[in-house]
A and B are shown apart, each in its own frame.
Chain A
Amino acid sequence: MDLNQIVADLGLFLPEIILTGVVLLVVLYDLFQDAEHSIRSGYLAMGGLVLTLLAVLMQDTSAPTGIFSNMLAVDGFSNFLKVIVSIGAILVMWMSFNSNELKGRRVGEYYVLILVLTLGMYFLVSATHLLSIYISLEMVSLMSFLLSGYLKEQMRSNEAAIKYVVFGAFSSGILLYGFSLLYGLTGSTSIFEIQAALAAGNVQPALLLMVLVMVLVGFGYKIAAVPFHFWTPDVYEGAPVPITAFLSVAPKAAGFAIIIRFFNVVFSGDGNPNMEAWSALENLNWQAVISLLAILSMTVGNVIAIQQSNIKRMLAYSSIAHAGYMLLGVVVADQTGIAAILYYAGVYMLMNLGAFFVAIHVKNAFDTEEIEEYKMLGYKAPVLGVIMTIFMFSLTGLPPTGGFIAKFYIFRSLIEYGDMYFWLAIIGLINGVISLYYYMRVVKAMYFGKMELPERIHQAPLNVTVLLVILALPLLLGWMIGDPLSGYAQSAVHFFVN
């Protein structure tokens, strides 16, 4: 590895360089703003992120490459997820401009932290080395801790942060210990070399099982899968709502990216994920372990969500359940399965951000987070009511919304995969029915009940309405205009393989 190679690789590193530049620029710019105008730093940060997104979109990923001695991979898969997390971050910034929670405080560093979190996710989705995986995971975690505790005089936000730190630091410690043992077992730190060492077959399966359970603790915490989910409800309830929305979407997608990449490369390494790959290591039935996690996540998430009265907590548990649906795709882990996960991640971002954004606006306008208090919202604020109904339908997975198509792809990949996994799809469907109950409870509160028509119709500000329509329309129209996202997701299943 010579200097020329590093310089040549910088060209493929352009989005990250731009984003780093934007971070530094916003930090500097914020120094010259007084507290009441610090929102300007937010606008600058959002502009910079749009620029970065353009750089990501323009990147040519037709030939997957590893950069910086295979520390990072630049391929279709990482590119797709970078697009998703950038769009998520842009939308969250947009919503943060309208959030009452952040009014009247200095917000420059809030936007800087979101930018760094996004940069961490850029690294996480492309990491192919134990060191780069660990560093990017920590980068995402540390920024998430800080952001969830951003309202520092509020007890709730504070408590969310402390719980998040304790769980996060603990799981990443376990992950790291697993990595250190993996390094000892295989003698290498690049996941490609680890794969080669495992394929040579001199590793004891029992030790490997222990290592991989440890690794799964670290990754499972990031995607909030049961049984590593205990932090989720408290953090989601206590954190500022835009941050809750962001945490439930972007780091989760990035966590799935690293799970897929890590297991795909370590267990197959031929670039075309296929089912035989999983049985490459005998005595290690990974599909069974991940199936179990998926079933637990779906069921526990959905059943506990039923009992929640706070909309943020309800959405927190529902996000655990959605992690379960996506894990079903990881069980398959072939071309269609991974495309289904990517598609699901895209649709889930739209609908979950949307649901949280309605919750933010309802909190701004009516100062409540209780589902019961949403009563008559459909009449008090007709636009919000209709849009929230679309998000709830989509989260349940009812046709003709995007949520239905996303679930359809996941279940289809399971059924095509083999008869053995038919029952997993059935469990997924049953869980869909359970989730109908609590999502529809919101719709019921909004439209049905004692009729006393409100005197005044509440109008959401124009930019909030525009944002919500931008989120809701693709969910409705994707069905009719031939679903470009699906084709994009399918073409994105390209991994860099050394």
Chain B
Amino acid sequence: MDHLSSYLVLSAILFSLGLYTVVTRKNGVAILMGVELILNAANINFVAFSKFVTHTLDGHLISVFIIMLAAAEAAVALAIVLNLYNNRGHINVDEANALKQ
């Protein structure tokens, strides 16, 4: 596994899975997991390009920042999902439709 392409394929698969999860799931937490998959796909890209293309540490550095931001985002998003649960007793995003379309 010393080729750039295998890393890119892995990240593309992760990205597609994340996209699929976000689009199809109704559960708030599951959607957030899909978003995490997309972010990690980007992380793999950054590190792989950094190792194989630029031979610098830029990409590694960016991926560290992304991991940190993903944690912050998860904290905020989970707080909001928890609040939805407190108000409604479920975390089904589809049924949050009090605001008219």
Q: Given A149-B80, A149-B83 in contact, is the A176-B72 Cβ separation under 8 Å?
A: no
Q: Given A170-B35, A188-B54 in contact, is the A180-B46 Cβ separation under 8 Å?
A: yes
Give a binary string over B19-41; 1 marks a CB under 8 Å from any A CB, 0 the rest. Answer: 00010000010011011001101
A94 interface residue, CB < 8 Å from B? no
Number of CB contacts from chain A to chain B under 8 A: 116
A485 interface residue, CB < 8 Å from B? no
Partner of B96, one of A163, A173, A187: A163
Partner of A176, one of B22, B42, B76, B88: B42
Partner of A173, one of B8, B39, B59: B39
Using a Cβ–Cβ cut-off of 8 Å, how many residues does chain B contribute to the interface with A?
Answer: 44
Partner of A183, one of B59, B77, B98: B59
Interface residues on A, range: 35 or more
Shortest B75–chain A CB gap in Å is 9
Q: Is the CB of B99 within 8 A of A238?
A: yes
A208 interface residue, CB < 8 Å from B? no
Q: Is the CB of A177 within 8 A of B69?
A: no
Partner of A234, one of B28, B59, B99: B99
Q: Is the CB of A177 within 8 A of B99?
A: no
Cβ contacts under 8 Å, B99 to chain A:
156, 159-160, 233-234, 237-238
Partner of A155, one of B41, B45, B77, B98: B98
C-alpha spacing A162/B88, complex, angstroms: 13
Q: Is the CB of A183 within 8 A of B35?
A: no
A146 interface residue, CB < 8 Å from B? yes
Q: Is the CB of B65 within 8 A of A131?
A: yes
C-alpha spacing A173/B76, complex, angstroms: 15
B62 interface residue, CB < 8 Å from A? yes
Q: Is the CB of B32 within 8 A of A169?
A: yes
Q: Is the CB of A166 within 8 A of B49?
A: no
Partner of B76, one of A142, A174, A237: A142
B17 interface residue, CB < 8 Å from A? no
Q: Which of A134, A165, A189, A234 has the most CB of B within 10 A?
A: A165
Cβ contacts under 8 Å, A187 to chain B:
49, 53-54
C-alpha spacing A333/B42, complex, angstroms: 30
Q: Is the CB of B59 within 8 A of A152?
A: no
Partner of A177, one of B34, B41, B77, B87: B41
Q: Is the CB of A169 within 8 A of B73?
A: yes
Q: Given A146-B76, A165-B76, A180-B46 in contact, is the A152-B83 Cβ separation under 8 Å?
A: yes
Cβ contacts under 8 Å, A52 to chain B:
none
Cβ contacts under 8 Å, B88 to chain A:
155
C-alpha spacing A181/B38, complex, angstroms: 13
Cβ contacts under 8 Å, A166 to chain B:
22, 28, 31, 93
Residues of chain B in range 85-101 having any CB-CB distance to chain A below 8 Å: 87-88, 93, 96-99
Q: Is the CB of A155 within 8 A of B87?
A: yes
Give a binary string over A317-350; 1 marks a CB under 8 Å from any B CB, 0 the rest. Answer: 0000000000000000000000000000000000
A109 interface residue, CB < 8 Å from B? no
C-alpha spacing A181/B34, complex, angstroms: 19
A9 interface residue, CB < 8 Å from B? no
Q: Given A153-B87, A162-B84, A165-B80 in contact, is the A183-B73 Cβ separation under 8 Å?
A: no
Cβ contacts under 8 Å, B48 to chain A:
184
Q: Given A165-B77, A166-B93 in contact, is the A180-B45 Cβ separation under 8 Å?
A: yes
Q: Is the CB of A176 within 8 A of B53?
A: no
Q: Is the CB of A173 within 8 A of B80?
A: no
Q: Is the CB of A162 within 8 A of B93?
A: yes
Partner of B42, one of A145, A149, A155, A177: A177
A130 interface residue, CB < 8 Å from B? yes
Cβ contacts under 8 Å, B53 to chain A:
184, 187
A135 interface residue, CB < 8 Å from B? yes
Q: Is the CB of B83 within 8 A of A158?
A: yes
C-alpha spacing A177/B19, complex, angstroms: 11
Known contacts A155-B87, A158-B96, A173-B18; 15 additional CB pairs below 8 A are: A142-B72, A145-B80, A152-B83, A159-B96, A162-B28, A162-B80, A169-B73, A173-B39, A180-B11, A181-B45, A183-B46, A183-B49, A183-B62, A184-B8, A233-B99
Listed from nearest, the 10 A-B pairs whose CB atoms lie closest are A180-B45, A173-B38, A184-B49, A180-B42, A176-B42, A169-B35, A159-B96, A234-B99, A177-B42, A161-B80
B positions within 8 Å CB-CB of A: 8, 11, 15, 18, 22, 28, 31-32, 34-35, 38-39, 41-43, 45-46, 48-49, 53-54, 58-59, 61-62, 65-66, 69, 72-73, 76-77, 79-81, 83-84, 87-88, 93, 96-99
A-B pairs with beta carbons under 8 Å apart, 29 shown: A130-B62, A131-B61, A131-B62, A134-B66, A135-B65, A138-B72, A138-B73, A145-B80, A146-B80, A156-B98, A158-B80, A159-B97, A159-B98, A161-B80, A161-B83, A162-B96, A163-B96, A166-B28, A169-B77, A170-B34, A176-B66, A177-B15, A179-B42, A180-B45, A181-B45, A183-B45, A184-B8, A187-B49, A237-B99
